[in-house]
């Protein structure tokens, strides 16, 4: 498969190189996603410049980007929830299934050091680390949701006072989170 890797020593997207890698084989509880679209987030740029949390600068080549959408191309022998052809989106934190944030679950995010990202023809993910795409979304649209979309949703809808009709919402900036938050707030009647 072809993949885009960022190599150590580069601090811009100019350091990306297309490489040929073996297509991953699913283990019993894995799914292989044929990636159809990816999106780039601010955190991806932080990874490129070596300033993403504790990850620091890259020490080995890394397939980057946390957000991608595609279809299941293969499933592991124990996978029951998914079948070949299902349209899915990868989860930003592949080991965090539910509950409150915990450093051990959020330390591993797609596209950061040690966790291959979505900027490849195929991505191998645990079966619990993908969610079904809404039928009305294109791959391009769905690929924008795992990081910025979920962040915006949580900020607006999961706090002590979820956004409701008549509320006012202040958005700072014009990045992906702000633009998605604007759409969500408007849809909620704010």
* Cα–Cα distance, 3 to 92 (Å, whole number): 19
Percent of the chain with pLDDT over 70: 96
What pLDDT does residue 54 have? 63
Angstrom CA distances, 3 to 88, 117, 185, 188, stand at: 19, 10, 36, 39
What pLDDT is recorded for position 11?
80
Tens digit of each residue's pLDDT (9 = 90 or more) over 47-58: 888 888 766 677
In terms of C-beta density within 10 A (0-12 exposed, 13-18 middle, 19 or more buried), how is residue 71 classed? middle
Higher pLDDT, 182 or 55: 182
Q: How many residues does the chain have?
A: 190
pLDDT digits (tens, 9 = 90+) for 151-169: 999 999 998 899 999 999 9
Is the model's pLDDT at 103 over the cut of 90? no
Q: Taking the model in full, what pTM does it have? A: 0.89
CA–CA distance, 47 with 53 (Å, rounded to integer): 9
Query: Does residue 2 register a pLDDT over 70?
Result: yes
Which pLDDT score is estimated for 77?
A: 98
Q: Which residue has the higher pLDDT, 58 or 190?
A: 190
Backbone region of residue 11 per phi and psi (left: phi > 0; alpha: psi in -120 to 50; beta: other values): alpha
Neighbours of 161 (CB within 10 A): 7
Residue 6 has pLDDT above 70, yes or no: yes
Closest CA relative to residue 147, chosen from 46, 73, 8, 55: 46
């Amino acid at each position: 498969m072809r993949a885009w890797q960022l190599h150590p020593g580069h601090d811009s997207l100019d350091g990306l190189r297309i490489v040929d890698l073996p297509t991953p084989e699913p283990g019993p509880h894995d799914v292989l996603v044929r990636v159809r679209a990816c999106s780039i987030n601010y955190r991806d740029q932080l990874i490129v410049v070596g300033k993403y949390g504790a990850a620091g600068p890259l020490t080995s080549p890394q397939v980057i980007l946390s957000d991608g959408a595609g279809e299941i191309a293969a499933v592991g022998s124990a996978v029951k929830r998914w079948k070949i052809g299902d349209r899915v989106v990868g989860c930003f934190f592949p080991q965090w299934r539910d509950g409150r944030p915990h450093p051990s679950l959020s330390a591993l995010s797609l596209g950061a050091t040690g966790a291959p990202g979505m900027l490849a023809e195929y991505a191998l993910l645990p079966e619990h680390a993908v969610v079904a795409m809404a039928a009305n979304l294109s791959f391009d649209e769905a690929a924008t949701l795992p990081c910025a979309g979920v962040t915006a949703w949580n900020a607006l809808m999961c706090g002590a006072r979820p956004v409701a009709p008549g509320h006012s919402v202040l958005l700072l900036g014009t990045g992906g989170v702000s633009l998605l938050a604007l759409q969500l707030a408007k849809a909620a009647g704010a």
